Structure 1
Amino acid sequence: MRSFRVRAPGRICMFGEHSDYLGLPVIPAAIDLSISIEARPRDDSEIHVNYPDIDDSDVFSIDTEVKYRHRRDYLRSAFNLLFRRGIKPDHGWSLRVTGNIPIAAGLSSSSALSVASVMTFSTMAGFELQVQDLAETAYNAEVIEFGESGGMMDHFASAFGRIIHVDCGLSYETKRLPAVVEGLVIGDSLEQKGDTVGDLRRIRTEIENGYNILSNLIPGFDQRTTPRDEVFAVSAENNVESISMAKTTLLNRDITRHAFQLLRTDRPDPREVGNLIDQHHHLLKTVLKRSTPKIERMIDAARAAGALGCKINGSGGGGTMLALAPGKEMEVAQAIRGAGGRPYHVKIGSGAEIEEV
């Protein structure tokens, strides 16, 4: 087999932060920052991996499942998931893993690595995965294999590409959205995020506790379908944190539904999209407490420079923010830099892909 290169993109979450692991709909988009894996055949039975960006390397055999060197050893877990399905290469390979996605910044660098790794090992084995299988296998390699708490949004965004709507119920029905969205600027706060996995577990536990309380108040309560007015009517006097967080997920659910209708059109009004982004961020900031003072300064600066909408991007607690600023990209980038952030002008990009080298 010839040498090849796999590229899997990072993503932004436009709508539905902290929704996928609750079975609620999300609207992510792939961006033109990515992880690449270049693969060259060897004449032995070993996988040799070089990670020049982080000065690391790895070697393991293709003849058996491999032990993990540490938690979140995603390339090895991708190999193991496919090995268990009988999908494995018949000779060794040398891999070179590089990327330009900021690490631990809310742009899903780890999910892009997982998607790229699964696509790489399946290609080595001469097996072409369907795009949904690619996304689900990457999710299993990153999340289920290590007993973590995230959802599938990131993996679907990286595998499918462009803007998609994912119904994170049992079937993970995915729809490609035709909307052209331009003027996206990412601002990296350069703040090191804390324990993302621990944060997700804590937030999920609180919200699910809130759902349990609501189930006792509303027969047949379902976070996917119960009208928010019905929920607010029976819980107006209840200020327990888990209830407040649960109600916030229903507000985010309805914002995502509205955004879905907008983004089903080719050229949605960017002001309407920006307004929904602002509404989404307000809930992430005030109830879920996912922003930071520095990110708020960056958002304020971006809005003052002409951004139509801004939000925290990813799990929050540091990392990046997203600004929608068509025609004002340079001004907004400069404002973010002036507030101490590192700006990236990004475009909506294609999904995971492979090419010969």
Structure 2
Amino acid sequence: MSEAFTQRVGTAPEGVWAAPGRVNLIGEHTDYNDGFVMPFALPQRALLAARRRDDERWRLVSVDLDEEHELGVDDLVQGSPGWQSYLAGVVWVLREAGHRVGGADLVISSDVPVGAGLSSSAALECVTLAALADLYDLEIEPLERARLARRAENEYVGAPTGLLDQAASTLCRAGHALFMDCRSGEVEQVPFDLAAAGLELLVLDTAVAHSHVDGEYGERRASCEAAARVLGVPALRDVTDLDAALAALEDEVLRRRVRHVVTEDDRVLRAVELLRAGDVAGLAPLLDASHVSMRDDYEITVPAVDDAVTSARAHGALGARMTGGGFGGCIIALVEHGRAEEVGAAVAADQTAAGHPQPRWFSAQPSAGAGRV
């Protein structure tokens, strides 16, 4: 990245920073319901080389797209389209929060798959925030960094995401999953040693792209907020009697949404207990149940994703589910050690035979969060 920066800017960067994509092991669409999540960071990451400028202008360069944009203060406009909005949004939100951030040249490259539900956008935001915080000596705690990055996506980009993605990209540690209470911000690094358990976690990108900036994601969030109002609770995380809650809701769609969120929160809590006890294989039925809930109650899967999950189970996966915001993207599958490539290839063959796009796959290892390289 240093060489790419020098080629584009004409001088050496002051440093290089990295922030990862993430896989959400369990806990889908629970974050904006003040619930529980458990992601881990991927080795795939965004890399950013950066250098301060003397003016209040920002040069944003994508090595991958061979594109360059230069912005001034007046160009930091909410709702601006394009990849550059994720970087510009971080500049905007830092300044909105009262942090003294001057100009910078920012050159970025990422190998986090785009549109796969692996938080490629959060990686861009979190690496930009890490770089600017270091360059301008900003004292910002890790969780607050995640919250600021989420504000950039919510308020500048216009995607109504929860805190999961940015928290994972910022806070995760290698060899661990991140158990997070999205209301209190409390986190626990839970050991997640797949190899010791004789297992691998296959991540398969169905190549059906999704986007958070669309009506479906926003509709799910709005329906949860509507259900919470009817039930008289601050958020669906506060539903303690699911049967009573379902009986109190007349709308069948709201009943399904509530059932998913409440049962998914419970699955996260059960998964944490399993990992604390070192029982990685015990996650398998929770993955299966999570997928059924997302398919039937939250209605965020698509045929290619459902078929990939079914195929993975048929070819020997212990458990499998969609991961990410939905409407495309990736599945994860818990498989015996050494079988990820075999199962991935078998699922890919089934997908193409069914007329779905050709997928990509890899074996995921829990990796470190954002920081200077």
Q: Name the aligned partner's letter for residue 304 of structure 1.
A: A
Q: Name the aligned partner's letter for residue 263 of structure 2.
A: L
1:98 positional shift:
0.4
Contact 2:13 2:49 in 1 (8 A): no
2:272 to 252, 260, 263: 260
Give the corresponding residue for 1:48.
59
Supply the distance in 2 between the matched residues of 1:253 and 1:24 (Cα, whole angstroms): 6
**Deviation string for 1:4-45 (max 9, x for gaps)?**
111001111111101101111111111111111012455766
Contact 2:35 2:182 in 1 (8 A): yes
Supply the distance in 2 between the matched residues of 1:195 and 1:226 (Cα, whole angstroms): 26
1:115 positional shift:
0.7
> Which structure 2 residues correspond to residues 312-323 of structure 1 after superposition, within 5 A?
312-323=322-333
1:321 positional shift:
1.1
Q: Name the aligned partner's letter for residue 368 of structure 2.
A: S
Give the corresponding residue for 1:23.
34
Supply the distance in 1 between the matched residues of 2:160 and 2:69 (Cα, whole angstroms): 27
Give the corresponding residue for 1:343.
361
Supply the distance in 2 between the matched residues of 1:45 and 1:104 (Cα, whole angstroms): 32
Supply the distance in 1 between the matched residues of 2:39 and 2:116 (Cα, whole angstroms): 16
**Deviation string for 1:53-83 (max 9, x for gaps)?**
123211134xx46423824712111112222
Give the corresponding residue for 1:67.
76
Contact 1:88 1:122 in 2 (8 A): no
Give the corresponding residue for 1:159.
170
SS in 2 for 1:33: strand
1:147 positional shift:
4.7
Give the corresponding residue for 1:291.
301
Supply the distance in 2 between the matched residues of 1:268 and 1:230 (Cα, whole angstroms): 30
Two-structure CA RMSD over aligned residues (Å): 2.5
Supply the distance in 2 between the matched residues of 1:196 and 1:284 (Cα, whole angstroms): 19
Q: Name the aligned partner's letter for residue 17 of structure 2.
A: V
Moved more, 176-185 or 313-322: 176-185
Supply the distance in 1 between the matched residues of 2:235 and 2:13 (Cα, whole angstroms): 51
2:243 matches 1:234: no
**Deviation string for 1:203-246 (max 9, x for gaps)?**
1222233333344xxxx79633443454367359x561112211
Contact 1:213 1:243 in 2 (8 A): no
Supply the distance in 1 between the matched residues of 2:246 and 2:45 (Cα, whole angstroms): 45
When residues 75 and 321 of structure 1 are mapped into structure 2, their CA distance, relative to the original with a 3 A threshold, is: same
Give the corresponding residue for 2:146.
135
SS in 2 for 1:143: helix
2:182 matches 1:168: yes
The ranges of structure 1 where at least 4 consecutive aligned residues each deviate by more than 6 angstroms after the TM superposition are none
2:132 to 101, 121, 142: 121
1:346 positional shift:
1.8
Contact 1:159 1:352 in 2 (8 A): yes
Contact 1:207 1:243 in 2 (8 A): no
SS in 2 for 1:288: coil
Count residues in correspondence: 344
1:149 positional shift:
1.9
Supply the distance in 2 between the matched residues of 1:233 and 1:8 (Cα, whole angstroms): 40
SS in 1 for 2:369: coil
Q: Name the aligned partner's letter for residue 28 of structure 2.
A: E
Give the corresponding residue for 1:178.
191
- TM-score where L is the length of structure 2: 0.84
Supply the distance in 1 between the matched residues of 2:211 and 2:92 (Cα, whole angstroms): 28
Give the corresponding residue for 1:198.
215
1:112 to 98, 101, 123: 123
Q: Which runs of 5+ in 2 are unaligned?
A: 1-11, 352-357
2:306 matches 1:306: no
2:249 matches 1:249: no
When residues 195 and 135 of structure 1 are mapped into structure 2, their CA distance, relative to the original with a 3 A threshold, is: closer
Contact 1:66 1:80 in 2 (8 A): no
Contact 2:291 2:320 in 1 (8 A): yes
Supply the distance in 1 between the matched residues of 2:75 and 2:164 (Cα, whole angstroms): 27
Supply the distance in 1 between the matched residues of 2:31 and 2:242 (Cα, whole angstroms): 22
SS in 1 for 2:161: coil
When residues 341 and 7 of structure 1 are mapped into structure 2, their CA distance, relative to the original with a 3 A threshold, is: same
2:229 matches 1:212: yes
Moved more, 329-338 or 139-148: 139-148
- TM-score where L is the length of structure 1: 0.88
Contact 1:105 1:320 in 2 (8 A): yes
Moved more, 122-131 or 342-351: 122-131
2:237 matches 1:224: yes
Give the corresponding residue for 1:352.
370
Q: Identity over the aligned pairs, expressed in percent? A: 25
Supply the distance in 1 between the matched residues of 2:53 and 2:20 (Cα, whole angstroms): 27
Q: Name the aligned partner's letter for residue 240 of structure 1.
A: E
1:165 positional shift:
1.2
When residues 263 and 66 of structure 1 are mapped into structure 2, their CA distance, relative to the original with a 3 A threshold, is: farther
Supply the distance in 2 between the matched residues of 1:65 and 1:123 (Cα, whole angstroms): 24
When residues 5 and 26 of structure 1 are mapped into structure 2, their CA distance, relative to the original with a 3 A threshold, is: same
Q: Which runs of 5+ in 1 are unaligned?
A: none
